[in-house]
Structure 1
Amino acid sequence: MGEDATGVGQPRKRYRTRNWREYDRGLISRGDLTVWISPDLAWHAVKDAGGRGRPREFTDAAIQAVLTLKVLYQLPLRAVQGMAGSLIRLAGLDWRVPHYSTLSRRQRDLVVTIPYRPRRGPLHLVIDSTGLKVLGEGEWKVRKHGADKRRVWRKVHLIIDADSHEVRAVEMTDHRHGDGEIVPGLLAQVPEGERIGVISGDGAYDTRGVYEASTERKAALIVPPRRNGKPWKSRTTGSAERNETLRAIRRLGRRLWKRWSGYHRRSLAETAMSRLKRLGERLAARDPARQIAEVQIRCVILNTFNSLGMPKTVPLV
């Protein structure tokens, strides 16, 4: 049973998918290999006769396409080399196949392009973070015998478009970095020409740096103050907005404020985190540079899935 703003128990809302046939076709298309590798792809790099050193044989798009297959199907480098070669042969193309050592080397400095669909009007962005494992045992072993000291995690920070559910920005840090200090770098990944209307986040983003970053983008910030939060001085950037939120929570209660402000849309970021982890809760790469490319490729996969079809749901009365 859910609860309304007054705390009275209410049945949870049920939803119906209105475009199931279209969405079903999109789910099937997610396994179509032609989505990830196409004859129209620019595969071989144009050789520059005046450049120094050995010219690159493959474009970044070709390396990204093969690494996408690796991440999507959770293959080792040698296996994905064989898979890409078989696809090229089946397509009747005369392309050369990147060697697994080339894939490993190029992944370190690969510039990954994350596609997204342009939107009209101001954006509503939701932000959150999660952890992906690098080293450590599985959950069963931890539950049975306890955690080992060598468990290593990387922290992934995402900004999600609340309307399209697409990843618009991604950063990866270690566990020592706080959530709030990463926000300016995340917002810098959203083009200046796109207007941001609202940014939503949990209490971890109740910091002065986050308010300053949202003010620079002229965006409203929906972030609940911490439980022991005190009013800020008037000369602090964002103090008027935050202090008004603090007064509203004290007057209405935190539960009612969340419903009234639309704070619950922030849960879309948690949904995106869950989808990200379905591609694997463990990072295959060992060094941070390759791990960044791996996480960015995961975001490419999620956005491509969205472009193939999303469910349109309506609440049942």
Structure 2
Amino acid sequence: MKFTLTNWTEYQPGLLRRGSLTLWITAEALSCWQAPKRTTRGGEPRYSDLAIETALTLGLVFGLRLRQTEGFVPSVLKLIGLDLAVPDHTTLSRRASKPRAPKKLQVFHLPETGSVHVVVDSTGLQIYGASQWLEEKYATKSRRGWRKLHLALDADSGDIIAQVMTDQDAGDASQAEPLLDQIDMPIHQFTADGAYDGNPTYEAVAGHSPHAAVVIPPRANAIERPDAGPSRQRDLHIAAISADGRLECQVATGYGKRSLVEAAIGRYKSIIGRRLRVRSFSAQQTEVAPGRAVLNRMLECARPNSVR
């Protein structure tokens, strides 16, 4: 199977723009750089969340540590001609560790139909440390684990529209509802692999968009359950697999779209990295949040249109 690009003349300049060191700050961002005054008791913060997120995002894109970020951001602002106070590395570390609710991401390409085809999957991210080297050299069992990053992708545009990070013991099906809570638009199809097979996923999709189609391959030993409620679609998949075969059922339901989220995971690990830099769990959640926004922005610069 071969594919070709139909928009190479637009795609090539877009790839070049991904590496362009062109930064600008809007007037709204300048007005929000300083933190607003508190209305309750306590110390007055100097920097807003926007200033912290901007510094962390620039450090993530250019692969800088916090001290290097503290030196990089003022130099960039000086080239732009702006005299803004920049948070130091201790402030960045402390504010990054502050727990916060997941933010809804900006979607650059809104669907014309008013609904989205959501594709979800998860991957593992290594925690900072040399656990693998120690295990190989000294044959010891390391206590250091890894984190699991769950992504929800818009199959039509390729934008990451939701993200959740958990520890390694969290099941994939249990994170379907937190992912859907970050999506405001209705869903016309929810596609995932067999790890999301279960009542929690079907109930979460039915609670978000009752008329959405759920495409999850059931287990090989799955059996039909009459009056299964939201899981009734699962019984239809089991019957279709028994009649036509698993491959024919996947082609008919569009299950192949799931490869798009696997490609997004590959982009995350190749561009952002396979390993988390910070050590606390709350700071790790803050670390992966700019990464998804960066990938959406890069995809907006160059979006391929490939056909078979």
> Under a length normalisation based on structure 2, what TM-score does the superposition of the two structures give?
0.90
> Under a length normalisation based on structure 1, what TM-score does the superposition of the two structures give?
0.87
Alignment partner, residue 209 of structure 1: 200
Alpha-carbon distance between aligned partners in 1 of 2:165 and 2:173, rounded to the nearest angstrom: 13
Alpha-carbon distance between aligned partners in 2 of 1:50 and 1:99, rounded to the nearest angstrom: 25
In the TM superposition, residue 46 of structure 1 has moved relative to its aligned partner by 5.0
Show the 5 A alignment for 1:257-296.
Answer: 257-278=249-270, 279-296=272-289
Distance 1:47 1:201, change over 3 A: closer
- The answer to whether the 8 A contact 1:211-1:238 is kept is yes
| Structure 1 unpaired stretches of 5+ | 1-11
| 2:114 corresponds to 1:114 | no
- The answer to whether the 8 A contact 1:135-1:153 is kept is no
Alignment partner, residue 52 of structure 1: 41
Alignment partner, residue 243 of structure 2: 251
What's the C-alpha RMSD, in Å, of the aligned pairs? Answer: 2.2
Distance 1:39 1:90, change over 3 A: farther
| 2:25 corresponds to 1:38 | yes
Alignment partner, residue 188 of structure 2: 197
In the TM superposition, residue 16 of structure 1 has moved relative to its aligned partner by 1.5
Residues 102-161 of structure 1: CA distance to partner in whole angstroms, max 9, x if unpaired? 111111235656321232212101011000000454878877877852342001111100
Residues 186-210 of structure 1: CA distance to partner in whole angstroms, max 9, x if unpaired? 101101xx22000000111110111
Secondary structure of the corresponding residue to residue 34 of structure 1 = coil
Residues 2-23 of structure 1: CA distance to partner in whole angstroms, max 9, x if unpaired? xxxxxxxxxx2x1221222322
Alpha-carbon distance between aligned partners in 1 of 2:38 and 2:281, rounded to the nearest angstrom: 33
Distance 1:150 1:239, change over 3 A: closer
User: Runs of 4 or more off by more than 4 Å in structure 1?
Assistant: 110-113, 138-148
Show the 5 A alignment for 1:1-317.
Answer: 12=1, 14-35=2-23, 37-40=24-27, 41-42=29-30, 43-48=32-37, 50-109=39-98, 112=103, 114-117=105-108, 118-121=110-113, 122-137=115-130, 148-191=141-184, 194-216=185-207, 217-218=209-210, 219-234=212-227, 236-278=228-270, 279-315=272-308
Distance 1:113 1:260, change over 3 A: closer
Residues 72-123 of structure 1: CA distance to partner in whole angstroms, max 9, x if unpaired? 1221100011110100111111111111111111112356563212322121
- The answer to whether the 8 A contact 1:136-1:152 is kept is no
- The answer to whether the 8 A contact 2:104-2:182 is kept is no
1:207 counterpart letter in structure 2: G
- The answer to whether the 8 A contact 1:211-1:237 is kept is no
Alignment partner, residue 4 of structure 1: none
Alpha-carbon distance between aligned partners in 1 of 2:249 and 2:238, rounded to the nearest angstrom: 10
